[in-house]
Chains A and B, each alone.
Chain A
Amino acid sequence: MNTKKAVIVDYGMGNIFSIQMAVNAIGGAAEVSSVPTTIAGADRIILPGVGAFQKAMDELQKMKLIDTIRAFVGTGRPVIGICLGMQLLFSESYEFGEHKGLNLIEGKVLRFHKSEADQYHKIPQIGWNDIKMPSGNVMNLWANTVLDGIVPGSFFYFVHSFYCKPDNQDNVLAETSYGRDTFCSVARKDNVWGCQFHPERSAEKGLLIYKNFFDL
């Protein structure tokens, strides 16, 4: 049993129930909340998200959660964004226009390139794909991170049309290839983490990521 208290930020978008079940499965506890003071008092926060970037930012704004999340990051306690939640951590997104994100990790959110020649290359990517160490990898890059104990080449479940491109390559913890794009599938900047795939839908290895997040 992990005594650290996580809060899943509920802004009306995301698969909150399955994240909560995944946290339960690793012996943790996660409260679902949209109340700024509850979120501010958490030991760590999970930012879920499924849907459109701009709508998500609008909802966070409406619920006065943008400053709450930024202030939380300032305390040094861990934050993880999942799928769209990861993309929200970045500076800006080019999903249907140009939209400002939380800017906790400098970089952009871009759309996959189409590959007309490859009839299997469908957008969105829906399915399992593997994660690798970034090129020019450092030995033990994943030790003591959310990827601790994960072997490069492990498969995770993705559902997305857009991907994150950090300005600083040091923020790329893992990469994944789809079509002719190689993108950042796990990002990290200090205490801010992001997973493009859904760990709560990626079987045992996904659960390990939540366990590692609680053990940080």
Chain B
Amino acid sequence: MPHSVRVIPRLDIKGPNLVKGIHLEGLRVLGKPWNFAYKYYLEGADELIYIDAVASLYGRNGLLEIVKKTAEKIFIPLTVGGGVRTLDDIKALLRAGADKVAINTEAVKNPELITLAAKAFGSQCIVASIQSKLIDGKYFVFTDNARESTELDVLTWAKRLVDLGAGELLITSIDQEGTGKGYDLDIISKICEEIPIPVIACGGCGKPEHVSALVKGAAIDAVCASSIFHYKYFSEIAENDNYEAEGNIEFLKSNRGSLEFMKSRLTGMAIKEVKDVLTSSGIPCRTS
């Protein structure tokens, strides 16, 4: 058993808004990321991950501004990714209050960035991010928020990222993402067996039992979930939130779209409820 499994809400961000899709596509607007983040902080999240779906770091409503606004009120570790291309990007995010930076696409294009970043900022703040998709029985690495395919084998690439100097690995299963059908235990357990750095699993969590099954089946250090938390708190937070005139929010407003649909497939869960299930299945996590 790990010392204490980290439970990490993942917030996908587009422009100024928190969004959620299925298989990382068809993004719907849920509200302001920091309102959700603050709620998760108060409810006992161990860490937070922000991923910018459209990779816009700078400018008004850019990711940097959102990170800064978050870091003013939230005192747990924050990992930020999406569009990180240079050492200056990393420095800007760390200065804005991020503790770690997640790198996916640019690591594939320019693997040396991982090494340079680990040397400049310490490997503890460099999270290598892999998006994995199963095609004909083989796991392939995808980039650009699941839009671009590569020839890279997921397990081989994961090992390479460790050699390059990554401090943690975030593995997202595109096939499972947003489905609520459970984590991709097959590839995650293989990665955990081979890799000496902490692994954060992401994609597919629909109920707390998925988390306990994952922790029992793989030597995992941290688990990410998004839909189950977002849908738990959505109605409460949305009332106090002003939407920007951006994104596909008609779905939510009209009540005919994703929210009800997703609710029929997912059980919205509070972070504490997830941790209670973990604790009662003998899995240690921070409760005090």
Interface residues of A (CB under 8 A from B): 15, 17-18, 21-22, 24-25, 50-52, 119-120, 122, 124-130, 151, 153-155, 157, 159, 178, 198, 200-204, 206-207
Contact = CB atoms under 8 A, between A and B. Distances in A.
A15 B94 CA distance: 8
A204 B167 CA distance: 26
Interface stretch (B9-17, B26-34, B95-103, B243-251): B95-103
Nearest to A176: B3
Contacts of B222: 127
A120 B196 CA distance: 9
A73 B2 CA distance: 39
Interface of B: 1-4, 6, 41, 44, 46, 71-73, 75-77, 94-97, 99, 121-122, 124-125, 167-168, 192-193, 196-198, 219, 221-222, 286-288
A21 B68 CA distance: 10
A25 B192 CA distance: 38
A126 B75 contact: no
Interface of A is mostly: mixed
Given A120-B2, A120-B221, A18 B286 contact: no
A126 B219 contact: no
A151 B288 contact: yes
Contacts of B46: 127-128, 157
Contacts of A122: 196-198, 221
B39 to A, nearest CB: 13
A126 B196 contact: no
A119 B199 CA distance: 12
Nearest to A154: B288
Contact of A50 (B72, B76, B122): B122
19 contacts: A15-B99, A18-B71, A22-B75, A24-B72, A25-B73, A120-B219, A122-B197, A126-B221, A127-B4, A127-B221, A128-B3, A128-B4, A128-B286, A155-B288, A201-B76, A201-B77, A201-B99, A202-B76, A203-B76
B3 A120 contact: yes
Contact of B124 (A50, A129, A206): A50
Contacts of B196: 122
A3 B95 CA distance: 26
A130 B41 CA distance: 19
Nearest to A84: B122
A27 to B, nearest CB: 14
What 7 A-B pairs have minimum CB-CB distances, sorted nearest first? A155-B286, A128-B286, A120-B2, A119-B219, A128-B4, A51-B122, A159-B124
A200 B75 CA distance: 6
A205 to B, nearest CB: 9
A128 B198 CA distance: 13
Contacts of B96: 17
A74 to B, nearest CB: 31
Contacts of B72: 21, 24
B4 A50 contact: no
Contact of B122 (A52, A200, A202): A52
A127 B6 contact: yes
